[in-house]
A and B are shown apart, each in its own frame.
Chain A
């Protein structure tokens, strides 16, 4: 067998190794020194599968001490990370007491990767007091992986008082935690070749106008390294900023942007690179320097997912003329670039865009056709009317064209309604009926009546759906007619419409609840809740125990809305096998007496989302009686999202 075959055999043997067998631990320990990294990796993975015992961590810590075996040490460190909480105590002992600084450094690294909260104190002590500078630096880095207020305070102290390596590590850790040091302490570092890049990145996290100014000034520095660092910081600031902070930032950038030396080249080079922060910075700069970069290049930056929001933002600043120039080129862009360009351009449409948009509507490219249909309605031009009317009967474009026509109808109500009426009279399409009904008016009502008698069930369904928005007597009459339709889709649409009727729908909702078609019944359940029809509560109550999760969850919600949800309903719903029903019941039933202890019983549910919902319900309805259960759950919980919900619940209950 050749070398790769032997390696494969060792690899597979380790995968098949019975961890309970005698000598298994020794086999794994030996495998950590295997010449093949794949074998070492699988050994590291398998260590974590060995249940309990200090033998595992001792073996791994022993391997960590083999100075000449770099591969084995790395594999052992990885295995310790996999062990998680089980490895923390022995690692803390190494960190605080091992004579070999290399071992202490490794322990700090692993503790940081595990993210062990209980390690913060010992790591702070190591960062400030270990005799070896590398251990101090590693401890600072590890604190960046754990976080928390105490870690941040310790890192700030290390940054303020440490020597260069420790300062650098503390700064990186603070950046990682999104907690930059105070601005005055960063300013001197902006000219420090060793710390400049990190200092600028930290500057990007300081959300103050003075920091934005410094950052913008860096963009026009005569030193390339400073310009690049500032550009990456601009990316950091933009990605992490709120909308108002972004506006401030852009103001500052605008002042400096014109002074940026060879800006188009700087931007182009950053857009072609792999650094997402640099790319985002370049896009923000491109947005400020309108025309500095071809719109196509800006759009193509969206091939990197992380640059998408900045690319949309930069494109949206192009202005209508540049946007119009981009329209004929959309077809040649990559798919992600097209998507962002369409998103950015749609809101910029003006009447001059109609001809190129009509071309795109006929391009045969589905995404560009949808974009064109959306944008045409936003041009506000009457010239957009006919292209949109003709798109109404297109199966894939009809809905988009209808929504767009509704926008156009707000600008030219009489013309749009008249033309739509003619279309509906001649060839009624569901989308045309829907938009005509939305635009309202007498002619729309007449069209709705006519459409409800159309031979095409889809047209009748669209009319039924729109009838709910018609004035009460007419709406009621139309929905009554639609509920007697032979097509279930029409009856379901009518049942949906019943919920928005101001009055008179109760009787029809009761009727629809007895419909033989499940879709009609479900729509009626929704409408019963929406219209607050209390009289159907008994029928809804029977549905709570339905095996079908959709039916049961809708019944729970509707019951809550009509004020008919009881503790017994809650009990039934919380025992449902579908977690969606349980979550709905927890959300809707929190106000009921008895909800808190029932919710507490679900804090140990196997699904994290049910546990989150239970914690939220208790936060709403719980008392101090549930506090011990919440605290116990918090203690045992490993999932961060559930922990956050439990912590909020515990805080709320403690304050009651």
Chain B
């Protein structure tokens, strides 16, 4: 049961290291030394919820208690910020909508199938934005379209499936979209069912060996502001996974502050009009 007092215990350097190592082992998420207070702040509500007195007790709970594995998911979710909203990074989305989708339409004309993956989708704003853009493009009527959203947090996936959002998620939504694609649901808004049905969700730990077969081959992967949480070896593993799950000629879109420098040369950099994106080379060395 919850505690009544507001006393937040201080996290010792040793507790920080133990918790950091545990999070890293489970998720590949790497937390820098100087962010101890961030970890302290974000995990404190979990101590409160579990009625634990300090972070050493929390570490023991994670390590030993039968509920520890489930609790570690909460901890990871609390530590990976998951800041997301509809139509985040508009220039990149413009590149997807105006330049990448036409390429994929031409590329997949024979199969009439389109697969897009939002890796680290959090509460679903990104995959739903992609579904809206695909719908808006008008290019894929009658096609087999599926947007896949995956995340390491089961709780955010449950929220994503509900497809109900408040004003913070809508803060960058272009004019008119709220009315066209959402219906009021109490103090929030619910996404239209036909768009919602284009998106499926699943749990996936990107750094877990053997995660790949769970993901079908994709035409585009969005992994924005997720790699920043990983260290170099984990980033490389994740990029290997993306490379393996992308069709030849498929696109990889990262956050605006992220790049593949020092990570892999398996993707080529493509200069689109609105943005720079990465692409898995076409078989036979073809270029877009």
Contact = CB atoms under 8 A, between A and B. Distances in A.
Interface of A: 2, 4, 7-8, 11, 38, 41, 303, 305-306, 308-309, 331-336, 338, 343, 347, 362-365, 368, 399-400, 402-403, 406-407, 431, 434, 438, 462, 465, 549-550, 553, 578, 580, 608-609, 612, 641
Contact of A462 (B1, B13, B34, B63): B1
A407 B3 CA distance: 11
Contact of B167 (A306, A309, A331, A641): A331
Interface in B12-34: 13-14, 17-18, 34
The 5 closest A-B pairs by CB, nearest first: A399-B2, A550-B64, A403-B2, A331-B167, A335-B83
10 contacts: A7-B265, A305-B35, A334-B168, A335-B82, A364-B164, A431-B1, A465-B1, A550-B64, A553-B60, A641-B13
B266 interface: yes
B1 A8 contact: no
A434 B166 contact: no
Interface string B200-219: 00000000000000000000
A553 B268 CA distance: 53
B186 interface: yes
Contacts of B188: 363-365
A308 B37 contact: yes
B171 interface: yes
A399 B4 contact: no
Contact of A362 (B164, B187, B265): B187
Nearest to B61: A550
Contact of A403 (B4, B83, B85): B4
Given A308-B38, A641-B14, A38 B265 contact: yes
B60 A336 contact: no
Given A403-B2, A578-B64, 5 more contacts: A332-B168, A338-B168, A364-B188, A553-B64, A641-B13
* Interface majority SS (helix, strand, loop, mixed), chain A: helix
B154 to A, nearest CB: 15
Interface in B155-173: 164, 166-168, 171
Interface of B: 1-4, 6, 13-14, 17-18, 34-35, 37-38, 41, 49, 60, 63-66, 81-85, 164, 166-168, 171, 185-188, 262, 265-266, 268, 285
Contact of A406 (B4, B6, B63, B83): B4
Nearest to B49: A399
B81 A335 contact: yes
A549 B166 CA distance: 44
Contacts of A309: 37
Given A38-B262, A365-B166, A334 B83 contact: yes
A552 B185 CA distance: 51
Contact of A306 (B14, B34, B66, B187): B34
Given A309-B37, A399-B49, A609-B18, A8 B4 contact: no
A407 B63 CA distance: 33
A406 B14 CA distance: 34
Contacts of B185: 364
Contacts of A4: 265, 268
Nearest to A639: B17
A308 B64 contact: no
Contacts of B38: 305, 308
B265 A336 contact: no
Contact of B168 (A11, A308, A335, A612): A335
Contacts of A362: 186-187
A364 B262 contact: no
A336 B83 contact: yes
